[in-house]
Amino acid sequence: MAHVGGACDGGSVVLWVRDNGVGIPRDYQKTVFGMFKRLHSRNQSGAGLGLAICQKIVERYGGRIWVESEEGVGSTFFFTAPGVEAAVASGRS
């Protein structure tokens, strides 16, 4: 099951998606954002592009994306959305 949340942090909004999957070993937590990088076997669907695309989008708009994970417990993917808090407060959203 996945949980989605967010919080204001200065001039940015931090959003996250948390799951209770198998988790990502610490050594692979930065590499999962690379194109065609997959941690699971080839007999599972997916091309290894989803997180790479997310990273490109987030960084294009001045944000940051990262994962915190514990094997056997799950992962939480975070990203920042700079300027969103100011846009919402001014009614420009």
**CATH value at residue 42:** 3.30.565.10
With tokens 């989803």, the residue in question is 50
The pLDDT, as a whole number, for residue 79 is 95
What pTM, to 2 d.p., does this model score?
A: 0.77
Q: Is residue 43 a part of any domain in this protein?
A: yes
Q: Confidence band (pLDDT; 50, 70, 90) for 67?
A: very high
Q: Domain containing 56: what range?
A: 2-78
71 CB burial (10 A radius; 0-12, 13-18, 19+): exposed
Average per-residue pLDDT in the chain? 81
Number of domains in the chain: 1
Q: Is residue 28 a part of any domain in this protein?
A: yes
Q: Is residue 40 a part of any domain in this protein?
A: yes
For 22-58, the pLDDT digits (tens) are 888 888 888 888 887 666 555 556 667 888 999 999 9
The pLDDT, as a whole number, for residue 49 is 83
Q: Is residue 52 a part of any domain in this protein?
A: yes
